[in-house]
């Protein structure tokens, strides 16, 4: 019993670690970046956000009034001088890099913007580390779509080949390769010296939760259909994805950063964060749960005109065994928490309080059925 107690205690995010830490979050105006910034603020970190202006209205950023909690700076990750000035001025110790063009469909329409943001933006961040010795840890958040996907329904491990059948996926694979190259060329974890920075990449995706209003994402599309009583077009109802609640992978990023801080030589690698592979569900499963809750939701199935993989699963054994990370919510709970957030929004509740309550509730949960 004492063994399991100490084991579970080791899995938790350590509040004392984050208290007073200077943290930069790129992409803080987005969905995941906003939730991460709120959580870090709750952990009493000194958070600076650097991002393009708020991408949607409404947005998670606006509903929780994030600009009143952290130092929020609007700027372009592709602007090296601007980014360099922010890092030099605020001297972060830890950087979470989430700024990205994060959708598949726009990558077909705007390939240049996708690559310049996801690849050159990453390059700008990595290059800025050379002149900013305050930075000790960097977690580059890429995507579960960075792998070469042949639709074999086999969970991807961190050692599997990178690729991408669409421009978004390939740009994230490029970001992974670039990070690896910079790490081995300039911040080699085998040569710890005064210039050493612990750098890791985190691969997750298909994250859902309250506060996402992005275009061409399943949950925001369903919410808009409910909000405006419009038909929702679904492209790939049979596609299986590793759906997970937003706080689950974010907890992994936080735990990874802690590990990097204390032992960068061991943890400066790539890491998968997702539900266990036999827990994946098709798009149609999410739709059925939402239509059960909102009967008026009208759905239309439409054949997809672009290439998207049918199967996408992650093997997260490495994160579970070496980081001690686990998911806390199963898919039904994930959907329940997501619906709860949006219902609170529609009812005009204080979404800052609702969101912080979800973080508090999540932090107190035991781990789910894929724990040990």
Here the CATH number for the domain that contains residue 59 is 3.40.50.720
The pLDDT value given to residue 277:
73
The pLDDT value given to residue 6:
41
Residue 211 gets the label, from left (phi > 0), alpha (psi -120 to 50) or beta, of left
Tokens of 45: 């970190």
The answer to the question of residue 281 being in a domain is yes
The pLDDT value given to residue 195:
64
The CA-CA-CA angle for residues 77, 81, 85, to 5°, reads 95
| Cα separation, 196 vs 235, whole angstroms | 46
Judge whether 118 and 100 are in contact, CB under 8 Å.
yes
The pLDDT value given to residue 8:
44
E strands within 253-321? 270-272, 281-282, 299-301
Could you tell me the residue range of the domain that residue 310 belongs to?
A: 2-364
| Cα separation, 14 vs 36, whole angstroms | 15
Establish how many alpha carbons lie within 13 A of residue 165's alpha carbon, considering only the half-sphere containing its beta carbon. Answer: 11
The answer to the question of residue 369 being in a domain is no
The pLDDT value given to residue 193:
64
Residues belonging to the chain: 372
The pLDDT value given to residue 164:
87
Q: How many domains does the chain have?
A: 1
Give the SS3 label for residue 24: strand
Give the SS3 label for residue 163: coil
Distance of CA 87 to the CA centre of its chain: 21
- Residue 310 DSSP code: S
Judge whether 14 and 39 are in contact, CB under 8 Å.
no
The pLDDT value given to residue 44:
97
Establish how many alpha carbons lie within 13 A of residue 9's alpha carbon, considering only the half-sphere containing its beta carbon. Answer: 6
| Cα separation, 94 vs 98, whole angstroms | 13
Tokens of 74: 């609007």
Judge whether 165 and 146 are in contact, CB under 8 Å.
no
The pLDDT value given to residue 45:
98
DSSP states of 172-206: HHHHHHHHHHHHHHHS-TTS-STT--EEEEEE---
The answer to the question of residue 286 being in a domain is yes
The pLDDT value given to residue 304:
66
Contacts (Cβ under 8 Å, ≥6 apart) of 78: 116, 117, 120, 121, 124
| Cα separation, 150 vs 148, whole angstroms | 7
Q: Which residues of the chain have pLDDT under 70?
A: 1-12, 192-195, 303-305, 307, 367-372
The pLDDT value given to residue 117:
98
- Residue 208 DSSP code: E
| Cα separation, 7 vs 246, whole angstroms | 24
- Residue 367 DSSP code: P
Closest CA to 83 of 50, 52, 132: 50
The answer to the question of residue 371 being in a domain is no
The answer to the question of residue 23 being in a domain is yes
The answer to the question of residue 372 being in a domain is no
| Cα separation, 92 vs 86, whole angstroms | 9
The answer to the question of residue 370 being in a domain is no
The answer to the question of residue 315 being in a domain is yes
């Amino acid at each position: 019993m004492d063994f399991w107690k100490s084991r579970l205690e080791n899995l938790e995010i350590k509040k004392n670690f984050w208290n007073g830490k200077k943290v930069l979050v790129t992409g803080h105006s987005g969905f995941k970046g906003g939730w991460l910034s709120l959580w870090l603020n709750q952990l009493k970190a000194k958070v600076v956000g650097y991002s393009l202006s708020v991408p949607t209205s409404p947005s998670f950023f606006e509903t929780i009034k994030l600009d009143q909690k952290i130092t929020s700076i609007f700027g372009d990750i592709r602007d090296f001088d601007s980014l360099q000035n922010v890092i030099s001025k605020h001297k972060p110790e830890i950087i979470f890099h989430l700024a990205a063009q994060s959708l598949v469909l726009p990558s077909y329409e705007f390939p240049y913007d996708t690559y310049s943001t996801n690849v050159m933006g990453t390059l700008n961040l990595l290059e800025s580390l050379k002149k900013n010795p305050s930075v000790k840890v960097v977690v580059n958040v890429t995507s579960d779509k960075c792998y070469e996907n042949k639709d074999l329904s086999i969970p991807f491990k961190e050692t599997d080949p990178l690729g991408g059948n669409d421009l978004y996926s390939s740009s994230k694979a490029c970001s992974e390769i670039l990070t690896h190259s910079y790490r081995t060329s300039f911040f080699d974890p085998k040569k710890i010296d005064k210039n050493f920075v612990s750098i890791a990449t985190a691969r997750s995706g298909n994250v859902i939760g309250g506060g996402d209003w992005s275009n061409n994402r399943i949950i925001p599309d369903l919410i808009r259909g409910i909000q405006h009583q419009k038909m929702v077009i679904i492209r790939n109802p049979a596609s299986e994805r590793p759906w997970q609640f937003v706080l689950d992978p974010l907890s992994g990023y936080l735990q990874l950063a802690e590990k990097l801080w204390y032992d960068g030589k061991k943890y400066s690698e790539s890491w998968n964060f997702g539900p266990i592979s036999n827990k994946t569900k098709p798009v149609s499963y999410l739709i059925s749960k939402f239509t059960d809750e909102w009967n008026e939701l009208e759905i239309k199935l439409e054949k997809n005109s672009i290439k998207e993989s049918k199967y996408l699963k992650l093997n997260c054994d490495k994160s579970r065994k070496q980081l001690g990370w686990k998911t806390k919510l199963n898919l039904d709970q994930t959907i329940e928490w997501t619906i709860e957030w949006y219902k609170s929004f529609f009812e005009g509740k204080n979404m800052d309080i609702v969101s912080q309550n979800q973080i508090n509730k999540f932090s107190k949960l035991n781990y789910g059925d894929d724990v040990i």
